[in-house]
Every structure is written in structure tokens, then in C-alpha cells.
């Protein structure tokens, strides 16, 4: 578990105003309280990791940021102004792109059609304005190659891709469209070694271009490799935010597991966790 990675980490300057600021977000589903007041912000050029156990509320939280859910209470500021995203389309138009945990892909549609779903490139004007299939195909192939995956063809149906290939399409799509904020909900859960390091390198690259990255992972090593700040969620609440260097991997791992239990577990598994 090396804390020194090959990446240049973003300088999290407190003076830089955040792109998105979430204040005291609460989200209730009927009588279930999924989020009980979470505050979070993301600045340009940083990678902010969101960590936590299963069911901690990470996905629910980023879904309020990307317009899928509307918070029950709380406030979202986008570039300093109060903002409420009614639909995912609104947040996309503001420059926020998301890789959802379930990927949001349509198996029956081709890779290229999935890649540009909702944001199709067009050519022509007026009545002849049409979906530029050639351009869509070409960009898809190029972007996928950048991620280290050689697709057989842009017209292959997503349903025939492997799990990791599918995940890579979703990541490539979000990276391509994430102008200001890129949200990745467990993007590396199905990826091979090479593709994972590719994704981490991509996070590093877009961060250096000034994009704010929100990175959810269960893997402390991946998080530490690219993260600048770490926020741990537990049962719908934040356990706090730490800057890189302020926290050791062991502490982080304990926090993610919600406290002491892991220490006991680790004993019985002889340090393999």
C-alpha cells in the first residue's frame, strides 16, 4: 500500500472556489433515510474520493449531484449559485458527467449509439439535421482505444461486451463529456490490471486539465493512488474529510469499515484484507 504514487496530485488550494458545493444533503426514500445531512464539495483540478461501506449512501449521494435524485433537504451550489438539477440532462448540460454504478447502458444498442446516447452529434441543418453516425463511430473507437480497449467495431451491441469492456465504455463516455466535473461510481470494479491503471491515469489527466473528479471506490489502494481528499460516509452521514497525507491507509481503511470491526477481522484473516 504505497502512498507515493506516480501521479502529480492536485494542489487543493482552499482559496479556489468549489465547482459544486453540497450542503447538508438529506435524502429520504419513504421512511428510509438514505442520507442524513452530508456536506461535500469538489474543486477544479482535484480528485475527491468518496469512501464507505456497502449501503453507506455513496451512490445515492452522487445521484443527487447528477440530477437523478432531488435532495429532500439541503442545498446544492453550482459555481457559487444555488442550483437544482431536475433531470440528469440538466446536470450534463452544466458539465457534470457520471459513470453510474449500473453503468446506464442499453444492451441492445451499439457501442457508438450508447456512447452518444442523449448527446448525439449532428450534421446538416434544419430538416436535414441528422445523427452523424460516422463521426460517432470514429470518436467512439478513438476514445475506447485511449482507454486501452480495442473494440471489434463501433456497431457491436453493448450486450455482447464483457463486463469490463462495458465499464470502460461508460468511463470513456463520461470522460469525453465531463467538462467540469467527472463522477465515477466504482468505475474499476470489473477492470483488469491494465485497464485499472489506465482509468487511474485518466483521472490524473483530466484532473490536470482542471476537471474536478469525484471517485467512489472500495479499494483503498486505488483511492490513495489518485485521491487528493477523502470523505468517508457511514450510514448516511459523513465521518469527516481528510486531505492527502493527513491520514494513513490503515486509518482510512478502518474508517471505511465503520470503525473497529475490521481490526478484529484482520486478526482472524492474518492481515490479508
Partner 1 sequence: MSDSAPNFEADERIKAEPLISRLMKRPELGAIAGVLLVTIFFLITADSAMFTASGIINFMTPAAQLGILAIGAALLMIGGEFDLSIGSMVAFSGLFFGVCVMVWGLPLIVAIPLTFVFSACVGAINGFIVIRSGLPSFIVTLAFLFILRGLSLVGLKWASGGSTQLRGVRDATENDWLAPFFSGDAFPGFFAWLAEAGLIETFQNGTPKVPGMPVEILWFIAIALVATYVLLRTPIGNWIFAAGGDANAATNSGVPVRKVKVTLFMVTACCAALVAIITVIDAGSTDARRGFQKEFEAIIAAVIGGCLLTGGYGSAIGAFFGSIIFGMVVIGLTYTGFDQDWFQVFLGGMLLIAVLFNNAIRKRVTGER
In the complex, the residues that contact partner 1 under the rule CB under 8 A are 66, 68, 87-89, 92, 98, 100, 102-110, 112-113, 116-120, 122, 129-131, 133-134, 136-138, 141, 150-155, 157, 159-160
By C-beta, is 11 or 29 nearer to ligand ATP? 29
Q: How far is the CB of 186 from ligand ATP (least distance, A)?
A: 6
Q: How far is the CB of 145 from partner 1 (least distance, A)?
A: 9
Which of 9, 38, 59, 103 forms a contact with Mg ion (CB under 5 A)? 59
By C-beta, is 59 or 238 nearer to Mg ion? 59
* Closest CA relative to residue 184, chosen from 158, 162, 206: 206
Query: Whats the size of the chain, residue-wise?
Result: 273
State which residue has the least CB distance to Mg ion: 59
Which of 25, 38, 56, 175 forms a contact with ligand ATP (CB under 6 A)? 56
3-state SS assignment for residue 249: helix
CA separation, residue 9 to residues 198, 205, 208, 270 (Å): 16, 10, 9, 33
By C-beta, is 139 or 255 nearer to ligand ATP? 255
Residue with cell 449500473: 102
Phi/psi zone of residue 263: left (φ > 0), alpha (ψ -120 to 50 degrees), beta?
alpha
Distance, in Å, from the CA atom of 122 to the CA atom of 135, rounded to the nearest integer, reads: 9
Residue with cell 456497502: 54
By C-beta, is 10 or 236 nearer to Mg ion? 236
By C-beta, is 62 or 149 nearer to Mg ion? 62
Given ligand ATP, Mg ion, partner 1, none, residue 100, with its beta carbon under 5 to 8 Å by kind, binds partner 1
CA separation, residue 222 to residues 16, 255, 273 (Å): 25, 16, 14
User: Given the rule CB under 6 A, which residues bind ligand ATP?
Assistant: 29, 32, 34, 52, 54-60, 101
Amino acid at each position: 500500500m504505497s502512498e507515493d504514487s506516480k501521479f502529480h496530485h492536485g494542489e487543493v488550494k482552499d482559496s479556489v472556489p468549489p465547482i459544486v458545493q453540497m450542503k447538508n444533503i438529506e435524502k429520504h426514500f419513504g421512511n428510509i433515510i438514505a442520507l442524513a445531512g452530508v456536506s461535500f464539495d469538489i474543486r477544479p483540478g482535484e480528485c475527491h474520493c468518496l469512501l464507505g461501506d456497502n449501503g453507506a449512501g455513496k451512490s445515492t449521494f452522487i445521484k443527487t449531484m447528477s440530477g437523478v435524485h432531488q435532495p429532500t433537504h439541503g442545498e446544492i451550489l453550482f459555481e457559487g449559485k444555488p442550483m437544482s438539477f431536475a433531470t440528469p440532462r440538466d446536470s450534463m448540460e452544466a458539465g457534470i458527467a457520471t459513470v453510474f454504478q449500473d453503468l446506464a447502458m442499453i444492451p441492445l444498442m451499439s457501442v457508438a449509439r450508447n456512447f452518444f446516447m442523449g448527446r448525439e452529434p449532428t450534421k446538416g441543418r434544419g430538416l436535414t439535421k441528422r445523427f452523424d453516425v460516422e463521426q460517432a463511430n470514429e470518436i467512439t473507437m478513438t476514445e475506447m482505444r485511449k482507454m486501452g480497449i480495442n473494440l471489434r467495431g463501433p456497431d457491436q451491441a453493448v450486450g455482447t461486451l464483457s463486463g469490463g469492456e462495458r465499464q470502460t465504455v461508460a468511463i470513456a463516455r463520461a470522460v469525453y463529456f465531463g467538462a467540469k466535473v467527472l463522477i465515477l461510481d466504482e468505475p474499476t470494479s470489473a477492470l483488469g490490471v491494465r485497464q485499472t491503471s489506465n482509468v487511474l491515469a485518466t483521472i490524473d489527466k483530466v484532473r490536470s486539465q482542471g476537471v474536478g473528479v469525484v471517485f467512489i471506490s472500495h479499494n483503498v489502494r486505488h483511492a490513495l493512488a489518485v485521491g487528493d481528499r477523502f470523505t468517508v460516509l457511514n450510514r448516511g452521514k459523513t465521518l469527516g474529510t481528510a486531505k492527502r497525507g493527513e491520514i494513513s491507509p490503515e486509518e482510512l481503511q478502518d474508517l471505511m469499515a465503520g470503525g473497529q470491526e475490521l481490526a478484529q477481522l484482520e486478526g482472524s484473516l492474518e492481515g490479508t484484507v
